[in-house]
Amino acid sequence: MNNQEVISALKGKLVISCQALPGEPLYTEAGGIMPLMAYAAELAGASGIRCNSVRDINEIRAKVKLPTIGIIKQDYLDSPIYITPTFEEVSALVQTGTEVIALDYTDRIHPNNVKREELFHQIKQVYPNQLLMADISNFDEAKAAVEIGFDFVGTTLNGYVGDEKTEGPNFDLVSRIVNELDCRCIAEGRIHEPSQARKMLELGVFAVVVGGAITRPLEIATRFIKEINKDR
C-alpha cells in the first residue's frame, strides 16, 4: 500500500486503537491479545489500527490487512514525552513497515534535550517518504505541526498535556483546527460514544481514532459501574 492509498483508506473513517501496557488486564508478556482485538476491529469495518510496540505492530500486521498507525511508548528520565520520543523509536517503527508513525509534537523538549523541530527534520532526512502524525494538545501545537509538514495532526494529547481539560472530546479544538488550518486532522481522545465520533466527522475531520471505548474492557466496565452507582 503506497502513501496515497493509505491516505485514501483512512479518509472519513474510524481507526481503532488496540493497545495494552504492562500492568493492564489485556497485557501479556507472550503477546497475542492485541492482534485479536485488531481482527475484531477489521471485521467490524475499521479502516486502520493504532498500535503500540514493535511486537504488537508486527503481530497485528500479520493478522489484519489494515494500515497501522504505529507508536512506541517509552519513558525517559530527562523528558516527560513518552509517545515515540526519540529517533531510536522512529527507526524501530520504520522497520515494522507501519504505514504511519505517530509522535508527540507538544511544545516540550524531547529526551537528550532534542527540540521537536530537530527530531522532525532528522526523521524526514533519513526517512523522507514515511507518513508522520503529530500528537498535539492544543491549537498552537497543531499549527506548528502543519507548518513544519506533518501528514496528519491528531488531538491525541489534548486534556492530558496542558490545561485544556474536558470531560468528553474537545469539539471546539477540533472545529478550530479544521476551519483554520489546512491539514488532515485526526480526532482522538475521550470519544466514548458513536454519536461523538459521527459529530467529529460532521465537523470535517479527516478521520477518528477511538480506543478506550472499544478495546479497553476495564475502562468500559468502570464507566458502567460508575454510572450505576451514581447517587447511591
Q: Which helix (DSSP H) or strand (DSSP E) does residue 123 occupy? A: helix 116-126
pTM: 0.96
Residue-by-residue DSSP string for 37-96: HHHHHHHHT-SEEEEESHHHHHHHHHH--S-EEEE-B--BTTBS--BS-SHHHHHHHHHH
pLDDT at 167: 78
CATH topology of domain 3-228: TIM Barrel (3.20.20)
Residue closest to 192 by CA, chosen among 227, 163, 161: 227
The three-point CA angle 126-123-38 to 5° equals 110
* Residue numbers in the chain where pLDDT is lower than 50: none
pLDDT at 23: 93
Query: Within a 10 A sphere around the Cβ of 89, how many other Cβ atoms?
Result: 22
pLDDT digits (tens, 9 = 90+) for 2-15: 999 999 999 999 99
Residue 112 DSSP one-character state: G
pLDDT at 163: 77
pLDDT digits (tens, 9 = 90+) for 133-156: 999 999 999 999 999 999 999 999
Q: Could you state, in order of their start, the residue ranges of all structural domains in the chain?
A: 3-228
Please, what's the largest Cα pairwise distance for the chain?
A: 59
CA distance 47 to 154: 16
pLDDT at 232: 81
